[in-house]
Every structure is written in structure tokens, then in C-alpha cells.
Amino acid sequence: MPTTSLDPVLITGCSSGIGAATADLLVKAGHTVYATARRPETLADLEAAGARTLALDVSSEESMATAVKEVEAQHGRVGTLVNNAGYGEYGTIEETDLDKVRAMFETNVFGLARLTQLVLPGMRRAGRGRVVNIGSMGGRITFPVGGYYHATKYAVEAISDALRNEVRGFGIDVVLIEPGLIRTAFEEGVHATVASGAGSQGDSPYAALLASNAASTSASYGNSLLAAGPESVARVVLSAVESSRPRSRYVVTPAARALIGARTLGGDRVWDAYIKRQFKA
């Protein structure tokens, strides 16, 4: 661990997946890590590995403020914040329950933003700090049936870009991690939200698209050339945390880089043709 390391590291959403893998890797690298989750009992393995654990629900102001105060009481400030907590609410734009969409924005966007607000004063006083936001390739490209989830990740892109230039003068870096398909419980969540949504009814005008999406999602996550394990993201986060000059963006997985490049260079016609072929839309 370099002497320039910005500890302690506070990580949200550590009960499984990317958050758990990241907390575990940073602990093994010698960092002081606060692993958090809504249900702290899910963090037993990380605590046994050496992480400090806290309850933190990013949809609760009280929970966020309490967690930040506890870290600051021990260390003076949060050195690095890794905003990882998030989930996907999937379905078509027409049929998805907007109350569920609002709840997703509360976690994926407003929770991220508020927790960042809470740690920034301490970072400014210290004259250094780092905010690492876990975005997605889905903040640069958009697939059907995932429009509202993509909207949250596009929002994280905008927040990260604005914040990076607002806090640079205070010695604070902002880094955006953009994973591609990562094998976690996320795929199960995608299928579950679609299955429970209005579009699950057999008479949905989007039934064929939803079925095609389910098949394509399963095939993509099952393809070792397209999907990777959460440890691949954890390694990139470790690099971003330890680098003396971190990049503003890190795209994780070759497939994600290829898709983002195709979307950027090909324009709407090329992308729409790819979507039509992929989803038989």
C-alpha cells in the first residue's frame, strides 16, 4: 500500500457482488476499510477478514449521517468514498411502475449524491480525498427494457463529471468506474423485476420483446467472453484508490469497451441496427 493512500475507505453495498469483492481486496492490500450494507449481519465474512463494518442504508438520511460521523470520529474524515450501492429496476418505459423507478433513483442517484455531500466537508478540511463512483457501461449505452436503470447511470455520469471539476481545487479526485456485464446477483434481479412488472402479463404488447430480452440477458451473462466476475471490478477500484494520479474513467471488460466504442463511433443507425438484431425488436 503506497504512503499516499487515502484511508479510511468507506464502501457502500458490500453485502455481495462488487462491493464485497472490493472491500475484501482492499483489506488484503492493507487498507483501512469500512464495509457497509443495510443489513450488517451480511458482512460477517468481511469483518472476519479485517474490515470494519457499519450499517448504512443510502436511502436513509439518518443512516448515512450516522455512518459518516462514526468514521470521522475515528479518523477525522473519510479518505475515500466508494459509492457502490445500487440495483436495477427493469421493464419497458410504458409499463414500469414509476414508484419503483423513484425508489431506484433514491438508491442509485440521490443516495450516492447525498453521501458524497456528507463526506466532502471533511475531505476539504483535510485538503485531500477521493470519490469513486461505480457507474456502468449502461451510463454510456442504452438497451431496451432497461431504460430507467440506464437513466440512473447516465445521471451518475453527469454528477461525476460536474463534481470532478468542482472539487479538484480542494485536492479531491473523482473517479468513475464503468463495468460491463459482471456476474453477480444483478442478473437475477433483472429477471425478477421484469417478471413482477406489468409487462409480465401475457397480453402485454411488449411480450415478444420481454422474452427476447430475457433470453439475451441470460446468454450474455453466461458468455465468458462478455461477462466477468466482480473481482475484475475490485482490481480496478484498488488501482483507482492507490494511484497518485487516477484516471477520470475506467471501463471494465473488453466487451464494454467495444460496445461503448461502437455506440460512440457508429451513431444511432448502427446502434439501432445492432439492437434490432440482438433483441429481434
pLDDT per position as a tens digit, 99-141: 999 999 999 999 999 999 999 999 999 999 999 999 999 999 9
Number of other CB atoms surrounding residue 132 within 10 Å: 24
Nearest alpha-carbon partner for 241 in 123, 84, 81, 69: 81
26-35: list long-range contacts, CB under 8 Å, 24+ apart: 26/234, 26/237, 26/238, 26/241, 27/51, 29/1, 29/238, 29/242, 30/1, 31/1, 31/5, 31/7, 31/241, 32/7, 32/8, 32/75, 33/8, 33/9, 34/8, 34/9, 34/10, 34/67, 34/71, 35/11
Q: Which residues contact 272 (CB under 8 A, 6 or more apart)?
A: none
With the C-alpha atoms ordered 33, 38, 41, 45, is the resulting torsion angle positive or negative?
A: negative
Query: What domains lie within the chain, and their CATH numbers?
Result: 9-279 (3.40.50.720)
Nearest alpha-carbon partner for 122 in 70, 57, 61: 70
Residue 186 pLDDT > 80, yes or no? no
Q: Tell me which of 69-73, 146-150, 218-222 is least confident.
A: 218-222
Q: Tell me which of 35-44, 144-153, 212-221, 247-256 is least confident.
A: 212-221
Please state the φ and ψ torsions of residue 184, each to the nearest 5 degrees.
-135, -160
Provide the pLDDT for residue 37. 98
Residue 148 and residue 104 in contact, taking contact as beta carbons nearer than 8 Å: yes
Nearest alpha-carbon partner for 8 in 86, 76, 57: 76
Parallel, antiparallel or unpaired: strands 227-228 and 129-134? unpaired
Name the DSSP class of 31: -
Residue 1 pLDDT > 90, yes or no? no
Q: Please compute the mean of the pLDDT values over residues 188-212 and round it to a whole number.
A: 77
Provide the pLDDT for residue 182. 96
Tell me which residues are annotated as active site.
Answer: 149
